Every structure is written in C-alpha cells, then in structure tokens.
Amino acid sequence: MRLLFITIILIFSLNSWAHEHEKQGEYLGAKIVDELPNWFKATFMDFSEDLEEAADEGRHVMIYFHQDGCPYCAKLVQDNFHDDDLVAKLQKDFDVIETNMWGDRELTDWQGDDYTEKEFSAKMKIQFTPTILFLNTKGKTLLRLNGYQSIAKMHATLDYISSKTYLDQSYASYMNSLKTDKAGTLNAHAIFEQGPHMLTRNIQMPASKYLAVFFEEPNCSECDNFYQTLMPLKETQSHLKQMQVVRFNALSDEKLITPAGKRTTAKDWFEDLKLTYKPAIVFFDKTGEEIIRKDAFFKAYHTHGIMTYVLTGAYKTQPNFQRYLEHKSDVLREQGITVDLWK
C-alpha cells in the first residue's frame, strides 16, 4: 500500500512538472552580437581622458549603450556599423565607446565620479537600447538618439555633429532643412482628437486620462509603415482608446497649448522636446508630466510595452522601462504566452 501511495505521488508530481513545463511560453527575437567592431575606441573608461583626447584630435565622443540579446542593437551593429560609407565617417570624426547598460565594468565620468556601467546608465536615464549620446569636450550631451536609427538618418546625424552645425542650428531644424517634400497630408485615422488643442493639465486640474501626443510629417516612409503595420493591430487600438490621443504635423505652425500651459506651435514644441524621430509619441501623465517617449523605430512588442507601461501606472514604481519589460515578458511566458521581441 505504501509503495502504491509513493508511486501515485511521483506520477502526480511528474504530471504537474510536465504540465508546467509545457505551459511556459517561448522567448523569441533576442539576438546576440558575437563581436563589436574592432574600430571602437580602446579605452580605460575614464571619460575625462577620452574627451580630452578627442578634443586634441578634433573629434567627437560617441557613447553607444547596448544590452545583451537586444535585436535593435544587433541591427545597428550588423547594418549600420558594417556600412562602408557610414563606418568611414565614424572612423574619421568620432571616438566610439561602447557601454553595456547592465554591465559591471567600472568607469569614471567627465566630472570625476566613479560608477559601474549600469549605475552610469541609470544616471544618464537610459531607457532604450541602443541609445547613442554625442558629447562635446566638456561632457555636455549634444544629441541623444533613442533606439535604432536608419543608415540614412545616421549619415545625416554624423554630418550634423562633425560639422558642428549644432552651434548654430537645432537638430530638428537641421533635419527639416534636408527634407524636400514638405507638402502633403498625414495618414488619416479616426482615433485622433480634432483641434484646437488646449492640453493644459496640472496637479490642481488633473485630466481624466493619460495623454499620447503623436508627431509626424508628410511623405514619411516610417510614418507610413507605422500606419500599415502597427496602427491596425487590435492591441494598439485598445491601448490608445484608453488615452487622450492628439496628433501634430511636426513641420507645421499649428497653434496649441502644451500640458504645461505654454502657447506654442507644433514645429516649436517638437523642437523644444528635443525629439529626433518621426513618428514620435510622447506620453504624459494626468498632471502633465512626461512619462516616456517612443522616439525611434520599434516593432509591436516594444511599442505595446511602452503603452502598457503608461496605462498600468508601472512607471510609478519601476523607473526603468527595460526592467518593466523584462518582468512583463516573464509573466507572459509563465502564462504560456510566447514573447517575440522582434515581432
């Protein structure tokens, strides 16, 4: 009898284990970069020295933040960092330093403060990988690019920095000056509120919903791709319907009032926010504080992750979006749902 009882317990335990094992969702889309380019700067991770050396040679420092398994980082390395013309510009005018967002290597910043890589990434408020920072000789950030950017966009960006156009012209203004087909209309969609847009919200007069502000432009292939691939998805629509959603042509002089109560135009607000990509989406809380922004190329999983980060209020307790997304992925997989980072 005792043997029978033990056998039944073992069978039950094995069946339970098998059930849980089958239930676990897959984890897809992660991509490992086997080797970073050998033309990256060899550094002792003392950024004061790096900046001084770059200044002496008339170059700029570019810090590349990445993390293991990031498919967007892999695309940047495999495509952009292996494009001959782009690499030639980088080698000529830039010292490229790589930093692992979750790494434990020690470094010293330009103010002489010591950090690990992950501590430094937190200080610099890195929310996405890849993130690229361009620095001046004093360590001031001249430009931040969040997320993957196309080869063509990177060419224009490197020209902007290497020529020191930033001394006389903002990045948004510079990129707009390169666009030749500014006339046209934006993609039509019923989800956007009609203007005029008076978006004021604060602690005394909080709004009832979170705010999602889209910035786009006419004749924009990235915008078209967003409307063809992401906007029709039920999940996208479900998330956005829970928010106040407005849209602006980032090239236009449409008048508006920002969440902070400032009177401005769409073009000037895009520039003031230091946005670098179209379509961009900036999310604000009910009192008018910015929560997070989608300011780069992201596929569905990361875009929806940004939206749920806002809607669930997770940003209030988890300031790092990557940690939130990692936890969300684990929860989904435990429920038997496959997670695909590159979907």
Same structural domain, 283 and 222: yes
Same structural domain, 213 and 305: yes
Same structural domain, 158 and 55: yes
- Which helix (H) or strand (E) segment is 38 a member of? none
Residue 16 has pLDDT above 80, yes or no: no
Using one digit for the tens of pLDDT, what is the confidence trace for 157-210? 999 999 999 999 999 999 999 999 999 999 999 999 999 999 999 999 999 999
How far is the CA of 154 from the CAs of 81, 85, 147, 232, 330, in angstroms?
10, 11, 12, 29, 34
Same structural domain, 201 and 300: yes
In a domain, 1, yes or no: no
pLDDT at 100: 97
In a domain, 75, yes or no: yes
pTM: 0.92
> Which residue's structure tokens are 């791709």?
225
- Using only the alpha carbons of the chain, give its radius of gyration: 23
How far is the CA of 72 from the CAs of 33, 186, 187, 277, 299, in angstroms?
11, 27, 26, 15, 10
At 62 the three-state DSSP class reads strand
Specify the number of domains making up the chain.
Answer: 2
Same structural domain, 145 and 259: no
Q: Which of 117, 147, 168 is the last residue of a domain?
A: 168
Using one digit for the tens of pLDDT, what is the confidence trace for 94-142? 999 999 999 999 999 999 999 999 999 999 999 999 999 999 999 999 9
Using one digit for the tens of pLDDT, what is the confidence trace for 271-314? 999 999 999 999 999 999 999 999 999 999 999 999 999 999 99
Same structural domain, 148 and 270: no
| Domain interval for residue 118 | 47-168
In a domain, 218, yes or no: yes
In a domain, 208, yes or no: yes
Same structural domain, 208 and 329: yes
Q: How far apart are CA 134 and CA 167, in angstroms?
A: 14
> Which residue's structure tokens are 């069946």?
15
Same structural domain, 230 and 123: no
Same structural domain, 147 and 267: no
Same structural domain, 204 and 318: yes
User: SS3 helix, strand, coil % of the chain, rounded to 5?
Assistant: 40, 20, 40
In a domain, 20, yes or no: no
Q: How many other CB atoms are there within 10 angstroms of residue 223's CB atom?
A: 19
Same structural domain, 227 and 150: no
Q: Which of 131, 151, 168 is the last residue of a domain?
A: 168
Same structural domain, 214 and 143: no
In a domain, 123, yes or no: yes
Which percentage of the chain shows pLDDT scores above 70? 94
Using one digit for the tens of pLDDT, what is the confidence trace for 34-45? 899 999 999 999
In a domain, 78, yes or no: yes
Query: CATH code at 336?
Result: 3.40.30.10
In a domain, 25, yes or no: no
